[in-house]
């Protein structure tokens, strides 16, 4: 069985997220998604609309996802790859090159982001609509 791993915050789940998970799953047989915890997002300077438990449950309900684990720190990626027997690591292409250090342990793919959609853009649009 070929195992795939990806990471993300997955706040305000949208079509771009769905496409990323669909394409990640197509690279193997079993997809593990590490969802950033609220505490880790605070370290990254992010505040989510929904708490970790809700975001993880939404991601777990997606048919392409076989397992959800928490992302608690930057340094856990090598540990996760080894612990879960990962064959393929996948991230969006805005992270291109940043996870090449994992090539020692598995294949690394950077998938093209869905054009014209992002959580930040959605949040900005919602704020703009409220302020009108």
**Any idea which residues carry the catalytic annotation?**
44, 46
CA distances from 107 to 52, 69, 73, 103, 118 (A): 28, 20, 21, 6, 26
Count the residues in the chain: 132
Q: Residue 57 and residue 85: Cα distance in Å, rounded?
A: 23
DSSP-derived 3-state class of residue 72? coil
């Amino acid at each position: 069985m070929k195992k795939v791993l990806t990471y993300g915050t997955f706040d305000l789940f949208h079509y771009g997220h769905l496409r990323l998970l669909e394409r990640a799953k197509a690279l193997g047989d079993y997809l593990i998604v590490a969802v950033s915890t609220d505490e880790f997002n605070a370290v990254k300077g992010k505040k989510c609309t929904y708490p970790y438990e809700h975001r993880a449950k939404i991601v777990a309900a997606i048919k392409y996802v076989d397992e959800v684990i928490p992302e608690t720190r930057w340094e856990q990626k090598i540990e996760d790859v080894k612990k879960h027997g990962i064959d393929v690591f996948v991230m969006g292409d805005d992270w291109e090159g940043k996870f090449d250090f994992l090539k020692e342990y598995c294949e690394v793919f950077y998938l093209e982001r869905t054009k014209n959609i992002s959580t930040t853009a959605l949040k900005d649009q919602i704020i703009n609509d409220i302020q009108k």
